Structure 1
């Protein structure tokens, strides 16, 4: 579902709020300040453009080349729109699961148009997104253009970081995961909501080179580099990054306009739920990690 409005919340529109969180991706250590229409590194002097006058752009030429197909996909299909594909009840359910507090600083990685991010009652909401075209029509959060694999943020500055159906768009998932842990405060939470790679339909389309994936009438609007991962693979990444697993939930999203595929999913999950494990029934999962205080 595409909508043209989004909740604005109570975010201050001033970019100065972003300054304590930003870090130069060029030298990797300099703080960033805003002046003369640029985001400037105080250490190396590198200047980064402000897209649309409000979105600091930290993508490098190498990033753009690596993301070329993915950026073109979003530009072709969703440029300058507010992309929201789930029902209001579905977004509110995710928000309830996340239990965000009013004083929290929250980062969404691969935020798109911020459909879930804007529904969280956080003190500061920041969305990292490589596709600038998905940010231009948005409000209610601070949009930052950048790569999940080299985030333009200082270490240990967010109370929560989360991926909402975005990690499968990232080529180096382990690197993006480690970056999310780096920017998370000690005691903070990392939440990942993703398509479940163990679900039969997800298995069919997870390989970009598979014949089923290439049948565009069957698989519509799937990005060129999307690959899914299992909960076990995520849990292993969590252990490698010294995180504690707090919650694992297999679930499904809900939509205002139900497609044939979604009707089949409902039939599949409800008819087999007494004999088939949840990990094979549900198309999505929710995994919550905690960063220990002693890391």
Structure 2
């Protein structure tokens, strides 16, 4: 099994969509139509949740005219948040098929399908032409990417001149190697902090 297949398998546990809809139901919301905020950040699989996403988007300068790529978009929480809060158009690329299906379904239920789309694939080989996006976000994804140079080269290719890549991630700056299992890796074979 390749590293990417192992990463996708790691994240393909449980029924994420039903868990997210359960959060909406438990708060008294309608699981067929709700705002992204009703998920209370459960769809943003990173430290700091929605508040961190807002800070990153503000620092990047994302606004209503921005075309954004969300690298490793997970359940789509970052993409929906940026579209809803900033008015940007966002495309998420995600390795895990189950997450792509969930992201699309939740996005439809939040009424953001006109602004947010998703494709299943590798961020090591982005399915877009050169100079397509104004900004790229990579939120808690790098810890599962061994070939970071390739990700950065692909991202630079799809960003327009002057475009910005924002990386918000967990990094190991020295010291001991972490103890497994971790939220992003059960074993060291898929952990690249």
Equivalenced residue count is 152
Are the equivalent residues in 2 in contact too, given 1:78–1:134 (CA < 8 A)? no
State the Cα deviation string for residues 151-178 of structure 1 (Å, max 9, x = none): 1111111011121111221221111110
Cα distance in 2 between the residues matched to 1:101 and 1:185: 16
Cα distance in 2 between the residues matched to 1:78 and 1:193: 26
The aligned counterpart of 2:78 is 116
The aligned counterpart of 2:173 is 198
1:103 aligns with 2:65: yes
List runs of 5+ in structure 1 lacking aligned partners.
1-63, 206-211, 229-295
User: Residue 107 of structure 1 aligns to a residue in which SS?
Assistant: strand
- The 3 A distance-change label for structure 1 pair 150 and 169 is same
1:134 aligns with 2:107: no
Cα distance in 1 between the residues matched to 2:51 and 2:168: 16
Tell me the TM-score normalized by structure 1.
Answer: 0.47
User: Residue 148 of structure 1 aligns to a residue in which SS?
Assistant: coil
Larger Rg: 1
Instruction: Give matches, 1:173-252, under 5 Å.
Output: 173-198=148-173, 203-205=176-178, 212-213=179-180, 216=181, 219=182, 221-223=183-185, 224=187, 225-228=190-193
Q: CA RMSD in A?
A: 2.3
State the Cα deviation string for residues 201-244 of structure 1 (Å, max 9, x = none): xx532xxxxxx22xx4xx4x23241211xxxxxxxxxxxxxxxx
Are the equivalent residues in 2 in contact too, given 1:107–1:160 (CA < 8 A)? yes
Are the equivalent residues in 1 in contact too, given 2:44–2:50 (CA < 8 A)? no
- The 3 A distance-change label for structure 1 pair 199 and 151 is same
Are the equivalent residues in 1 in contact too, given 2:143–2:184 (CA < 8 A)? no
The aligned counterpart of 1:73 is 10
List runs of 5+ in structure 2 lacking aligned partners.
21-42
- The 3 A distance-change label for structure 1 pair 79 and 65 is farther
Are the equivalent residues in 2 in contact too, given 1:105–1:122 (CA < 8 A)? no
Are the equivalent residues in 1 in contact too, given 2:62–2:88 (CA < 8 A)? no
- The 3 A distance-change label for structure 1 pair 78 and 94 is farther
Q: Greater relative contact order (Cα 8 A, min sep 6): structure 1 or 2?
A: 2
1:84 aligns with 2:54: no
Cα distance in 1 between the residues matched to 2:172 and 2:9: 25
State the Cα deviation string for residues 86-142 of structure 1 (Å, max 9, x = none): 444333333333320211100011011122222222442100001111122221320
The aligned counterpart of 2:137 is 162
Tell me the TM-score normalized by structure 2.
Answer: 0.69
Relative to its length, the structure with more helix (as a share) is 2
User: Residue 13 of structure 2 aligns to a residue in which SS?
Assistant: helix
User: Residue 164 of structure 2 aligns to a residue in which SS?
Assistant: strand
Relative to its length, the structure with more strand (as a share) is 1
